[in-house]
Amino acid sequence: MPLINESYDSLPYVDAPLSQQSLAAAQTLVDHDIQHAGIDTTQLHPALIPAASYTPRFPVATETEHARLQAEPNSKLSAIDLTRYEDFEAPPITSPTSDEDRPELLAQWSAALKKAYTSSEYVHARAAELGLLEKFGKNAWLVGNSQLEDVLKAIETELADVRRQQEEVEALRRQQQESVSGEIKMLEETWKKGVGRVLETEVAAEGLKQQILETRRAGAA
């Protein structure tokens, strides 16, 4: 006799499928036990947070964008000011060329010069990036695709291995259950016969008890 007895909660390859009447009877018993225990199925468990009381929290920037979209759904994001990279008008030119007596014009020209430097650096960096993209972009894209293909192949291999393991476990489970199906059916028949004999014995004992009582009553009379 083995020291470890294996047991299964479900024997799908041995047990016959339940009928609708059996399922309905089982569900009726479950509902009766729930009502008898006083469990309210309409209320959630105290450990669960109701969805109505949950309020999501977002960062201030996200809340600002939400408010902007609610106010103007068709508006566009204006986080980056693109006007600094666009064409701008030059300040007025004085005559004669010396404008030292007008410091406001000097300030305007200084600001315009700074914007021109910024725009020039942006265009220069953009041109350099476009050049790098044209020179190395294709190879980088191909390398990226190759890496993604390797990842996909690894996932597909892992999936195939998991499916193979599932099929092996399913086949082993079927084999184990079918190998003991005869023994299970024999034990079930023996159990049914034993229960029947117990009932027959109880009926016979009850009949014998009644005969004894009737004999005693006849003797007393």
- pLDDT score recorded for residue 97: 58
pLDDT, position 55: 80
**pLDDT tens over the chain, length 221 residues:** 454 555 556 778 888 788 899 999 999 999 889 888 888 877 777 777 777 667 888 999 889 888 888 888 888 777 776 766 666 777 777 665 555 667 777 788 888 888 888 888 888 998 999 999 999 999 999 999 999 999 999 999 999 999 999 999 999 988 988 888 888 889 989 999 999 999 999 999 999 999 998 888 887 76
Q: What is the 3-state secondary structure (H, E, C) of 43-85?
A: CCCCCCCCHHHCCCCCCHHHHHHHHHHHHCCCCCCCCCCHHHH
pLDDT for res 6: 56
Structural domain range at position 211: 185-221
Give pLDDT, residue 209: 92
Per-residue pLDDT, 177: 87
Torsion sign (Cα): 38, 42, 48, 50: negative
Question: For position 90, what pLDDT does the model report?
Answer: 74
3-class SS shares of the chain: helix, strand, coil, % to 5:
70, 0, 30
Predicted local distance difference test score (pLDDT) of residue 7: 55
Tell me whether residue 200 is in a domain: yes
Query: Does the pTM of the predicted model rise above 0.85?
Result: no
pLDDT at 205: 94
Nearest to 118 by CA among 78, 80, 90, 83: 83
Domain count, the chain: 1
Task: Give the list of residues 6+ apart from residue 90 with CB closer than 8 angstroms, or none.
Answer: 112
Match 């059916």 to its residue by tokens. 185
Domain contains 212: yes
In 3D, which of 77, 57, 74 has the Cα closest to residue 65?
Answer: 77
Cα(33)–Cα(23) distance, rounded to whole angstroms? 15
CB 201 within 8 A of CB 208: no
